[in-house]
Structure 1
Amino acid sequence: MSHVIVKASTVITVDAERPRAEAVAVDTETGVILAVGTLADCQGAAPDATVTDLGPSVLMPGFIDSHNHPGLSGLVTQAPAYWIAPYVGYPSFADVDALFRKANAEEPAGQPLLFNGLDRMLQGAPELDRVQLDAYFPDRAAIVFDNSGHEVYFNSGVIAALGWPNGTPPADPAGASFGRNEDGSSNGLAYESSAIAQVLTPMLPKIVSHPLHSCAQWYALMARHGVTATSDHSYSDDSKPIFEALASTSDCPIRVSLYHVSTESTCGEPFSSPIPDNMLRKQGIKLWADGAPWVGTIAISFPYLDTPTTRNAQIAPGATYETKMNYSRAELDATLSSYADKGFQFAFHVNGDVGLDIVLDAYERALALNNLTATDHRWRVEHLGACRGDQFERAANLGVVLSMGPYQLIYWGDLLDGEIFDSSIGAQWQRIGDAFRAGAVVAFHNDGMVSPPDVLLNIQTVITRRTPSGQLHGPEQIISLDDAIKAQTINAAHVLHRDHEIGSIEVGKLADFTVLSRDPYEVEASRLTADVSVEGTWVGGKPIDLDAFLEQVRATDPSEHHSAIADVGERIHRC
């Protein structure tokens, strides 16, 4: 047998029985932890082991992102696509404007282009249309994704490539729509997943030359932030070859749990794969209730304000109530009834307080009808930006777990508080303190292409409630560093039904580690991201070599995976 002992300045175990240790012994053949304790303890358990001494570095469980979109995110944010979100280098529309002009001048003639992350609120960007994009890209097809994932903008080159007769889009699909001029022709806008799919589906294979490598770049980005496990909340059958190919590489840095979109008829079917279950598994079914706060499509009982920010984003003032629900309660009940006996988790996208009331009503009914009340079902709700403490208490009483998004506070917090909503609502956005006080199991996520997978920034923000500008919002919602770390480790593992194998450093669990430069408990809360950095990750007792991983993927034949992205647009289901 092959054993290794990993020694560090300290080991943060996230195990209540032994919160700190000096070393960890690992069976490198199985990737399982053999011992945790002093160096002498570990040498006693594995006397033949070699010792890897990390010196002053700190070892802790691998970070877990409970809700992501690693497949889709790689395709639409990594080269050759352009990621133009305000927090990755394009803070204003002037920056986006300059990039549009540069890309059009430098890219090969006729090459279609894809941009992701235009944000009308944060960048002050206009709602681009066909005419505006034609001015930037007169001789090529160009698609621009809104940062919310709920809208795309495209030019005449795309319309021509799609072959729409007289430039007229097809009939609006259920729950989605195309923008139209007075004569019925396309104005270069598509709203919501089904319409977006009809624009993106034929175009993406012409844009992404090596789909597997694009996805691998997102895996690597997550690993650089210390993430060793995540989920894909836009999984459909056509993406299976990509996930299997990535998981089969010798240095794959990420374990993935798949959540199958409910719009695909096979979502309730069993999953089989030659890939080990601990690297790739189908865990649940993804549904969605409402939309995104940034485009005015969440179901809320309180009003959007009438401000320059909301007017520029073309959001009407006032409350939306049930008008922004994507499906009726009857439709939600029917979907839950169809799949509740399949043994999968449900995961519901919901941001608004009205939306969460409806989802919890539907969950309570389905749990009772299927004799699942008071069982360990761990049905999920996602995002929850506008939701309340009393709702979290109800979720906890139903056994529903919470996957929350600190990124909403990080990047939009300054606008939420007084510009988008009244301060009584906006300052409290992402009521994480209330969620913990409610006794719910709370995990954190970054939601794939919507925000970078910056776990340390998540933690710093929730323990200070300060945005990158330094502004304080809702100090009542501050949580402890202990709780913040749990939300990115053991709680996230619980939400993924994986707390028996990952999420803490304990004997018998998989040896997934994040290596930090310093102990986060020994730095000022407001300086966590400045003073602590991720130095690397281990998966299954093996230090991950990201260069080797990317090179192995780059060497594969890209043609093998073009079919897997031929209808990737179908997977854009309310990220």
Structure 2
Amino acid sequence: MPEPEAPDETAGVPSPLNSSLSLPVPGQSVSALPAVDAFILTAGTIVTMDAQLPRASAVAVAGAKIVAVGTLAECAEILPGAPVVDSGAPVLMPGFIDPHSHPFLSGLATQLPALSIAPWKAPRWSDVLSIFSQAMAENDAGLPLLFNGFDALLHGRPTPTAADLDKIFGERIAVVVDNSGHACSFTSALIRSRGWDTHPPADPIGGSFARDVEGALTGISYEIPANTAVLGPVMQELGGNPLGSAAEYYALMARAGITSTSDMTYSADLAAAYEALAAMPSSPLRVSLWEVSTAAEPGAAATFAAGDERLVKQGVKLWTDGSPWIGNVAISFPYVPSEATERAGIDPATAGGASAMNYSRAQVDAILDRCAPLGWQMSFHANGDLAIDFALDAYERALAEYGLLGTDHRWRIEHAGAGRREQFERAARLGVHVSLAPFQYYFWGDLLDGQMFAPEHGARWQAFAEAVEAGLVVSLHNDGSVSPPAPVLNVQTAVTRRTSSGRIHAPQQAISVDAALKAHTIDAARTLHREHLVGSIAVGKLADFVELSADPYEVTPRYLAERVQVLGTWVDGARIDLPEFLAAAHASDSAPHAHHAARGHTGHGC
């Protein structure tokens, strides 16, 4: 366990997020590498994340596979006469793995024609208003406007209603999507355009609309089914090139060092788009897919022309509660009255609690009864402690019912912000994996501790140490587009418990650099059932690497995200050429994928 540093409240974090995400891809050019099927790759040091051989100086690659790891001489014995390629990187590691993301929908949510108002782009509400004004001035009055990234707590005001937005946009159709992906706001013009002013829609299963005392819509929707109804026609009208937008998000993840990820809100109609992205030159990501439980046949089998190593359907996903940032998280403890919750419009008397559950137990049991016998890996979004108990209770029943207790099922719980030690220990006994969200602590930690919840609950949010000490397989994620992809910043946060302001809360919940790196490499691979392919540099695995500017084991932990820069990535033994990939995506025919524009913002943050 590292010894966390004392808070330095006068020193902010020197923009590690921007520095790690905005880098070009320097180093040896792709054209300079030999066009051969077998070669030996060297670097200043190779951090393998393989307990049997933690460090090496060379790795031999044949085709897409690793055939030897060790010294240059040892690799040359396996591939005699093979060319030796010096990567030029100070450090080579297995490519980072983000086990919980939404790469396709995040592209639609963060790229044009959508406009970002996320707190890391527009920190203050005044900045958001400036983006609104500019968008109205630059776009035809008859065109809808779509904004993504509102956060009531960080922007310091309640989720806007239709009445609030009407004062800004007048008679214009506009939609403002919450950064969490769990809510969106819309103008009265949108309500009238759908006929919802006279015939309000019913609440769908797993979602809802805010209403006044007479049942009329007030301009806020919650969760995927309701958000889809609001956003679908707007995205369809705005159009754009969905493959190009998705490719831009793929590239953002690659620049952060990620080579494998997941889509935790997959549906079968996305298959062709994912196939197209996988087939493009220098495609930088492997993607494991979890189909949403609201799909017509979430348990249906799926095969892909790209092959399982590139695309694989792995499981089925549910979301038991909502988001702590908008007040619909299922917690046993209350929000506290504070300036922050008052500004955000979160009423401590009504927010949170068991009423925040998105499903009844009977509904969840029915979904598990459909999917568990088919062998799918189940995944439950659960932020609050009540939601975690709910998920574990449902899991234990289904695992027992279908003879899965004691097997290697690796069912998952996502986020687990309010998770307690005894819940982590129970999850470990059940064979459940937990994927934690350092970004929740990094961006919101100062508010969580005392401003949102009492310190005994808020300070320990994202209890990394308790999860690791419970014996769980723990992974770390960014839940794109809820936060930008940033594995090194996630590691820094888990190791230092330092928020974006530089403050530290519950330092006893810090973990070691080694544990945090495992959570973004080999342990994340285990959660994806992919450790036989990726997650470490070992013989027989795929040649997926990340080049780093410094050794994360040697850098002072508080400066990891600043000093450990991503220089490039390799997939299948080839260095990724992002300009080539992006050019292919933007030149692609958008027509076969145009219908996906209607999917943007409808659940990327679950």
* Fold in common (TM above 0.5): yes
Provide the TM-score with structure 1 as the length reference: 0.96
Question: In the superposition, relative to structure 1, how do residues 521 and 114 fare at CA in structure 2: closer, same or farther (>3 Å)?
Answer: same
Find the aligned partners of 2:231 and 2:599 in 1 and give their Cα distance.
Answer: 8
Q: State how far apart, in whole Å, the 2-side matches of 1:25 and 1:282 are.
A: 30
* 1:255 aligned partner: 286
Deviations 1:406-458 (A, max 9, x none): 11001100100110011111110000100000000000111111101111110
Q: CA deviation at 1:181?
A: 5.2
Deviation at 1:84, TM superposition (A): 1.1
- Following superposition, the deviation at residue 165 of structure 1 comes to 5.7
CA, structure 1 residues 352+565, in 2 after alignment: closer, same or farther (shift >3 Å)? same
Deviations 1:167-216 (A, max 9, x none): 65322323433234566554322222222111111111222411111111
Q: Does 1:236 align with 2:267?
A: yes
Matches within 5 A, 1:326-337: 326-337=358-369
Answer whether contact 1:75 1:208 (CA < 8 A) is retained.
no
Q: Which residue of 1 aligns with 2:93?
A: 60
Counterpart selection for 1:227 from 252, 258, 261: 258
Identify if the C-alpha distance between structure 1 residues 24 and 215 changes in structure 2 by more than 3 Å, giving closer, same or farther: same
**Residue 59 of structure 2 is aligned with which of 24, 34, 54?**
24
Letter in 1 for 2:66: I
Q: Which residue of 2 aligns with 1:277?
A: 308
Partner of residue 415, structure 1: 447
Which AA in structure 1 matches 2:49? V
1:317 CA drift (Å): 1.6
Please state how far the C-alpha of 1:238 moved relative to its aligned partner.
Answer: 1.5
CA contact (8 A) 1:299 1:323 kept: yes
Shift, 1:329, TM fit: 1.6
CA distance in structure 1 between the partners assigned to 2:526 and 2:459 by the alignment: 29
Match for 1:147 among 179, 192, 196?
Answer: 179
Which position in structure 2 is the counterpart of 1:530? 562
Rounded to whole Å, the distance in 1 between the matches of 2:294 and 2:185 is 24
Match of 1:5 in 2: 40
Larger CA deviation: 497-506 vs 122-131: 122-131
Does the 8 Å contact 2:105/2:599 carry over to 1? Answer: no
Structure 1 gaps of 5+ residues are none
When normalised by structure 2's length, the TM-score is 0.91
1:172 aligns to what?
Answer: 203
* Deviation string, structure 1 residues 281-313 (Cα, Å, up to 9, x no partner): 100000121111111111111111011211222
Q: Residues 573, 471 of structure 1: CA spacing in aligned structure 2 closer, same or farther, 3 A cutoff?
A: closer
Distance in 2 between residues matched to 1:316 and 1:132, nearest whole Å: 18
Other-structure match for 1:199: 230
Percent of matched pairs sharing the same residue: 51
Contact 1:169 1:178 in 2 (8 A): no
Distance of 1:174 and 1:401 partners within structure 2? 27
1:520 aligns with 2:552: yes
Pick one of 415, 418, 434 that aligns with 1:386: 418
User: Which residue does 1:71 correspond to in 2?
Assistant: 104
- Give the distance between the partners of 1:566 and 1:166, measured in 2 at CA: 22
Q: Are the equivalent residues in 2 in contact too, given 1:304–1:420 (CA < 8 A)?
A: yes
Paired residues, number: 570
Q: Does the C-alpha gap of structure 1 residues 264 and 165 become closer, same or farther in structure 2, counting only changes over 3 Å?
A: closer
Q: Pick one of 448, 455, 471 that aligns with 2:487.
A: 455
Counterpart amino acid of residue 37 in structure 2: S
- 1:50 maps to 2:62: no
Amino acid across the alignment from 2:592: E
Give the counterpart letter for 2:546 in structure 1. Answer: T
For residue 568 of structure 1, report the CA deviation from its aligned partner: 5.3
| Distance in 1 of aligned mates of 2:56 and 2:605 | 42
State the shift of 1:320 in Å: 4.0
Which has the higher mean CA deviation after the structures are superposed, 328-337 or 231-240?
Answer: 328-337
Answer yes or no: is 1:560 the counterpart of 2:595: no
One-letter code aligned to 1:272: T
Most deviating of 316-325 and 333-342:
316-325
Among residues 408, 411, 415, which one is paired with 1:376 in the alignment? 408
For residue 40 of structure 1, the aligned residue among 73, 79, 84 is 73
Report how far residue 567 of structure 1 moved.
Answer: 4.8
Q: Kindly report the root-mean-square deviation, in angstroms, between the aligned alpha carbons of the 2 structures.
A: 1.7
Partner of 2:472: 440
Could you tell me whether the CA contact under 8 Å between 1:417 and 1:473 is conserved in 2? Answer: yes
1:247 aligned partner, one-letter code: A
2:397 to 365, 373, 377: 365
Please give the alpha-carbon distance, in whole angstroms, between the structure 2 residues aligned to 1:350 and 1:128: 25
Secondary structure at the counterpart of residue 558 of structure 2: helix
Post-superposition offset of 1:573: 7.5
- The 1-side partners of 2:268 and 2:557 are apart by 43
Residue 244 of structure 1: how far off its partner (Å): 1.0
Partner Cα distance (2:587, 2:198) in 1 = 40
Structure 1 CA distance, aligned partners of 2:297 and 2:202?
25
One-letter amino acid matched to 1:70: P
Task: Tell me: CA distance 1:574–1:63, structure 2 relative to 1, closer, same or farther (3 Å).
Answer: closer
C-alpha offsets along residues 501-532 of structure 1, whole Å, 9 cap, x if unaligned? 10000000000001001111121111111111
